[in-house]
Copies of this chain bind each other. A is one copy, B any other.
Amino acid sequence: MDILLGDREYFKGVGQIKYEGPETDNPLAFRWYDENRVVGGKTMKEHLRFAVAYWHTFCGSGLDPFGGQTLFYPWDEKSDPVARAKDKADAAFEFITKIGAPYYCFHDLDVVDYADDVRENEGRIKTLTDYLKQKQADSGAKLLWGTANLFSHHRYMNGASTNPDFAVATHAGAQIKMALDATIALGGENYVFWGGREGYMTLLNTDMKREQEHFAQMLKLAVAYARQNGFQGKFFIEPKPCEPTKHQYDYDAATVIGFLRQHDLLDDFSLNLEVNHATLAGHTFQHELQVAADAGLLGSIDANRGDYQNGWDTDQFPNDLMEWTQAMLIILDAGGLAGGGINFDAKRRRNSTDVEDIFHAHIGGMDVVARALLVADKIIQNGEYHKIRKDRYASFDGGKGAAFEKGDLSLEDLFQLAAENGEPATTSGRQEYLENLINKFI
């Protein structure tokens, strides 16, 4: 991938980020991410399918609930929204090609600001779709997924697809349609729903059942429209338990899977799992991955990390090798991400105001994930980790245990077996041994 510049260079002083190996002292080089290195039969690039998130990386302002903008961008200066959007696209592709990510992701509103006029917006997004299409062609970067931002505009303050007012739901539908059009036109490989306002602020004013039925209905309309227009990719739902709402309907992986099953949406949808959303929901990231993998619905990842002392979505860049090693074991066991990739839904801190900070953040994140892939691969090659787990369930692999699994035993049969065989032997779970085993390869 060659660096792709627009009319001006936005990230001056930083060239293409190269792999230089663990011993390098260059902070603007990869120490672990070596895109062509083959691990377990695939290149790192193929395994990880890294994507840059348009919203944080090119739109993030540094605003927080107690403070104003800290990040001011040279590509955000023009007064004409379309011209400003093109500058941003130039900056985006400069960064994407410098960092060497094969993919990017966006919401409609990341790409171009919308007015309060649907037809006007339709024109804007089409213009930018054409512009991005050319950028993709020139650079080779691809769209991992698109989505519609149905949470920032004040009209969505009571919900988008789940708004009690049908008039608002029509606007949600309109945005989804335009975002699908853009995604399809750009060859986007997937389409994501994150329902930031699809939940409630108080149950006192909420008909949860009716709202969830509206949400299912909207998903069905989106699938029907996209399939009619040739979209063959996956739809993802991204779970999150709360924030900005008090309670968000797509609480966690298990909740979303139950919802998809209830509404017969399992064929078209799988999950986009975010680390920080997992931890906000009271789970480990690994847990959410395993739940999705067990259901055959492990689609994609929003890579970041939360802060266990802060009860909100801090969306920090990944830096925990232990967490990612365990995650990679699950992903590799699942045969990889089905259709998706690893998108950095992560923002540098609002006081990380140097241009280089954008690069350090992504380099650190890509390196820790790549390194985790290497460690996980070593654990798998070693074999003991899987053997211990497999052996643990051996009593179900034959004999009465297998009969139980097949449904050939009754409750009375179990009673008889217990009565005859007496107290079972005590078997250690060996947790500390396994934890040491993981650390051995880190």
Contact = CB atoms under 8 A, between A and B. Distances in A.
Interface string A185-229: 000000000001100011111111110111001001110110000
A395 interface: yes
A129 interface: no
A244 to B, nearest CB: 4
A225 B410 contact: yes
A187 to B, nearest CB: 20
Nearest to A348: B432
A307 B312 CA distance: 13
Interface in A324-343: 326, 330
Interface residues of A, number: 158
Nearest to A320: B322
Contacts of A410: 221, 224-225
Given A400-B166, A418-B170, A393 B210 contact: yes
Contacts of A393: 164, 207, 210
A274 to B, nearest CB: 14
A24 B429 CA distance: 23
Contact of A213 (B310, B322, B405): B405
Contacts of A322: 319-322
Contact of A66 (B152, B356, B419): B152
A13 interface: no
A436 B246 CA distance: 19
Contacts of A68: 152-154
A239 to B, nearest CB: 11
Provide the main secondary structure of the chain A interface: helix
B350 A157 contact: yes
Contact of A202 (B170, B176, B208, B435): B435
Contacts of A217: 404-405, 407
Nearest to A364: B436
Contacts of A385: 204
Contacts of A234: none
**Which of A63, A205, A438 has the most CB atoms of chain B within a 10 A radius of its CB?**
A205
A67 interface: yes
A439 to B, nearest CB: 6
Contacts of A283: 247, 309
Contacts of A279: 308
A212 B393 CA distance: 13
26 contacts: A27-B433, A67-B244, A158-B429, A164-B392, A164-B396, A165-B395, A165-B425, A167-B417, A167-B425, A169-B404, A178-B415, A202-B435, A204-B389, A205-B389, A209-B294, A212-B294, A214-B404, A221-B410, A225-B410, A247-B309, A254-B254, A254-B259, A258-B261, A319-B435, A357-B430, A360-B436
Given A204-B435, A349-B432, 12 more contacts: A64-B244, A158-B427, A167-B417, A173-B418, A202-B429, A212-B294, A246-B309, A281-B282, A320-B322, A352-B429, A352-B430, A363-B436
